[in-house]
Amino acid sequence: MPAPASGWDSLWQDADFQAVRASLEAEEPSTAVAPMALRLQDPKLIPEGVAHDARTRRFFVGSVAQHKIVVVDARSRSRDFSVASDRLDAVLGLAVDERRRALYAVSTNALQATGARQPRNAVVRYDLRSGKLAARYEVSEAKQLNDVALAADGTAYVTDSAAGSLYRLRTAESAFSRIGEVGALRGANGVTVAPDGTLYVTLSTGIARVMPDHQQFERLAQPDTVVTGGIDGLYWYRGDLLGIQNTSNPGRVVRIHLAPDGGSIVGLTVLQSHHHPAFAEPTTGALVGDTLYVIANSHFGRYQGDGSMTDAATLQPTVLLAVPLR
């Protein structure tokens, strides 16, 4: 069902809708409440992406509202990582290449009204040794870049949600190029890479598999009892997929069980149900060992096209939950 503050305010005020909503929510069993791992102090970040650097044990969090990246240590102490001269717009997906000591981030103005007139979509790369911006890759044909994932060989993949497209940048290349046809991945959002190079991309209504040769796109078949639409962050984990659902409000964290050949979905386990008191539009996460650190309260729906925030005074500081996977 649609999230509040997403253009469906009259529906949320309807008594019949609320009754149906309450009935549907009651059908899902409540899971154990995942512990809070970090709490940032700034309630107006509107974070969407998060990544973890195992070497320094730091998290990087992107801000949609403030057009920046912050770095957070294990004691929740944060500081700005990016600087104004980096020319970032809303920061969405983030990914760390630990081997090459690099941080990739998606920057787009498509969430603002100005983006329709003069769109800007780019992926930026930072050198984690120096903390400086190392490269900026403009993707001029994109409509709204969203999430980024890295393969073991350093190849970067980024989704374009508005165009339903996927782009690729190999390590020896200087520009992202589109894979497949425009619209082949409708609603493309989260993306992850399996060890064999197979890509998995979230769609509006499910999950697609992109084979290593990048020539074959297919939506994964799934049982009628499984719902995988509306997933934002997507992660490969021990032969399965981890997903953070939010578009299909209310949000939850799920483990999507794949067939041994990775070609279909055979089941789903709820790891964190919507009952968590910190949940307010969870978005993405960072996989660290056997724990998925999840942005619990992005308040993404509060961000408006003019850059303002609805009911800004009631926003809560960003919380990262530690959702156990074992």
233-280: pLDDT as tens digits: 999 999 999 999 997 667 999 999 999 999 999 999 999 999 999 999
190-240 pLDDT, tens per residue?
Answer: 999 999 999 999 999 999 999 999 888 999 999 999 999 999 999 999 999
pLDDT at 2 > cutoff 90: no
34-55 pLDDT, tens per residue?
Answer: 999 999 999 999 999 999 999 9
Q: What does the pLDDT read at residue 5? A: 54
Q: What does the pLDDT read at residue 210? A: 96
State how far the Cα of 147 lies from the Cα of 123, in Å rounded to an integer: 10
pLDDT at 82 > cutoff 80: yes
pLDDT at 140 > cutoff 70: yes
Specify burial of residue 29 (Cβ count, 10 A radius: 0-12, 13-18, 19+). exposed
- What is the domain class of 35-324 according to CATH? mainly beta
Residue range 58-77: mean pLDDT, rounded: 97
User: Residue 144's pLDDT band (boundaries 50, 70, 90)?
Assistant: very high
Residue range 11-29: mean pLDDT, rounded: 78
User: Residue 11's pLDDT band (boundaries 50, 70, 90)?
Assistant: confident
Residue range 104-127: mean pLDDT, rounded: 96
Q: What does the pLDDT read at residue 29? A: 85
pLDDT at 308 > cutoff 90: yes
The residue ranges of every structural domain in the chain are 35-324
Q: What does the pLDDT read at residue 1? A: 52
pTM of the entire predicted model: 0.93
Torsion angle (degrees, nearest 10) of CA 2, 202, 152, 179: -120
Chain centroid to CA 118: how far? 24
Chain centroid to CA 37: how far? 18
Specify burial of residue 196 (Cβ count, 10 A radius: 0-12, 13-18, 19+). exposed
Q: What does the pLDDT read at residue 8? A: 65
